[in-house]
Amino acid sequence: MKIKKNKFVIVSFLIIIGGFILNFGQKKIFAKSVSEIPQEYMRKPISYTKSSEIKPYPQGMSAKKDKIVVLLKKQRAYLIRGRKTRYEFYVSTGAHNSTPKGHFRINTYRAPWFYSASEKMGARFAVGWLQGGLYLFHENPRNIHHKLIKKVANKLGKKSTSHGCIHLSTSDANWFYQKAPTGLRVIIK
């Protein structure tokens, strides 16, 4: 009986040590709430063209396992799977509370480029999340000549500037456009 007990203790010890070795150097972010996410991966200063984080993008997204949580007051969006935050985005949401709050899903609307003559701006990498293409995730706005509107882009992650859409950096918008599946949950609060 003593030998079995010692084997159990040794095996348990090796499993624990093995777990530490496998996780050594990997920064796992388990958040009880979105507000508890560490900031060490965030790009400083904020860039409206580069990725929000300095680490590589996650491998992809799953409509069943992942969700996007947008915090209007913080001007941040989070890609979350279970309790793990997989990526954090700098965003600019709707000025004057024009971004609807609630639970939504990424829909089938996708556009590599759009332009609104009434707003005198457009953007690349548009992904719809409400009313077809009325509310979108997209890069910072551009003029009719496809030039970034820098006075709006410079406010990314700092101030709400849109007409209700969610602005992302160019790199983040391109990745989101390619990876966000139809049906992905979007929670805006």
Q: Domain residues of the chain, as ranges?
A: 27-188
Catalytic residue status for 167: no
Predicted pLDDT of residue 12: 45
List Cα–Cα distances, 147 to 28, 95, 174, in angstroms.
Answer: 38, 22, 16
In this predicted structure, what is the pLDDT of residue 51?
98
Task: Give residue 40's pLDDT.
Answer: 83
- Distances in whole angstroms, Cα of residue 73 to Cα of each of 76, 78, 90, 96, 168: 8, 13, 12, 12, 16
What is the 8-class DSSP label of residue 101?
P
> Structurally, what CATH architecture does the domain formed by 27-188 represent?
Beta Barrel (2.40)
> Is 103 annotated in the active site?
no
Q: Which residues of the chain have pLDDT under 50?
A: 8-32, 35-36
Residues 177, 166: Cα–Cα separation, whole Å? 13
Q: How many Å separate Cα 121 from the centre of its chain?
A: 23
Residue tagged active-site, from 96, 146, 163, 165: 165
Active-site choice (103, 138, 145, 163)? 138
* pTM, two decimal places: 0.80
Q: What is the pLDDT of residue 13?
A: 42
Q: Are 90 and 157 in contact (CB under 8 A)?
A: yes
**How far is the CA of 77 from the CAs of 34, 85, 167, in angstroms?**
9, 10, 10
